[in-house]
Amino acid sequence: MAQLSANDIRGWLTHLKEHEKVSDVRIKDGYLAAIKTVLNSARKRGLISANPCDSIHIDSKPTERTREKDLRDSEVYAILKASLDPQKNVSEDVANARRWIPWGLAYTGARVAEITRLESKHVIQEAGVWAIDIQRSKNGRPRIVPLHRHLVEQGFLEFVRTREGLPLFFEKEFLNDPRLVIHKTRAEGLAEWAREVAGIESGAVAPNHGWRHRFKTECRRVAMDREVRLYIQGHAFKMEGEEYGFFPIDITAAWMELFPTYVVSGSALRVERAAGVDVIARATALLHRDRTIAAEQAA
């Protein structure tokens, strides 16, 4: 490591671009970022005196896009509709993943790996509200996400009870694997299936991640508080003041009451959104209602 020079690293990056055909963005945010982190750690430990990556700068252009990153109505309809159909020639775990994960992504805006790795113990009731306790996140930000009413209506809680003491979408023995990759395998398989049933061309939009973008779009439609939607999706806060305090479940659940419902019983998607224009007033009313319910249950 001490023998690495900036020219060595430049040569490696050039090879990745010209021979491996890796994009500038992936080189900058993936390969270079990774080796820079390793070398920074070595410098902090006194193993090297300087990080040769410090003098390397890549002017990467964003990948040209031909469409938005959200899933469109027709794609939402196709995936959710297919999730309700019998899943033939697949294991029970795969069938369960196809049945519940698309709806879970649609109504939480979570990263797919956060949902595929869920266990029954992660579905909890807090202050009278059913929620998902996301303990492991890409950026290390745990959070409690209220369950959307439609997930409950569909019988998600009953499904969780059938998996008591188990992971929801894979068998328990996989938890003994210190590297635990089955949840990633399940996510990749789900993406392939979703791309097929929705007719999504490769490279057009990421089927699993498209739910995360769609969720944010719907949050904007109901003027959801910015900090609340950042918290629910597990995004990092940009300002120091946003890191203070907590987001109690009665606050987040009140806002989730305003999140729309996806209906796929017809020939096309129907999105049932809260009526009226004063969404902040309605959110406040729901907040007080949830607090009253929680107090009554506690009594």
Question: Which residue ranges make up each domain of the chain?
Answer: 6-55, 73-298
Q: How many CB atoms lie within 10 A of CB 40?
A: 14
Closest-CA residue to 232 (of 114, 149, 74, 76): 114
In the predicted model, is pLDDT for residue 279 greater than 60?
no
User: Binning pLDDT at 50, 70 and 90, where does residue 272 land?
Assistant: very high
Mind listing the pLDDT tens digit for each residue in 5-35? 999 999 999 999 889 888 888 888 889 999 9
Q: Where are the alpha helices (DSSP H) in the chain?
A: 6-18, 24-26, 33-44, 73-83, 92-108, 112-116, 149-153, 156-162, 182-198, 207-221, 226-233, 249-256, 279-298
285: its two tokens? 């009313």
**Rounded average pLDDT over 129-135:** 96
- What is the per-residue pLDDT for 83? 98
**Rounded average pLDDT over 247-265:** 93
**Rounded average pLDDT over 77-89:** 97
**Which of 55-64, 92-101, 141-150 is least confident?**
55-64
What average pLDDT does the chain have?
A: 89
Q: Which CATH number fits domain 73-298: 1.20.140.10, 3.40.630.30, 3.30.360.10, 1.10.443.10?
A: 1.10.443.10
Closest-CA residue to 134 (of 143, 124, 126): 143
Query: pTM of this prediction?
Result: 0.78
**Rounded average pLDDT over 65-70:** 87
As a whole number of angstroms, the distance between CA 299 and CA 295 comes to 6
User: Binning pLDDT at 50, 70 and 90, where does residue 237 land?
Assistant: confident
In the predicted model, is pLDDT for residue 299 greater than 70?
no
Mind listing the pLDDT tens digit for each residue in 281-294? 655 665 665 555 55
- What is the per-residue pLDDT for 180? 81
Contact in structure between 104 and 113 (CB atoms under 8 Å): no
How many CA atoms does the CB half-sphere of 102 hold within 13 Å? 30
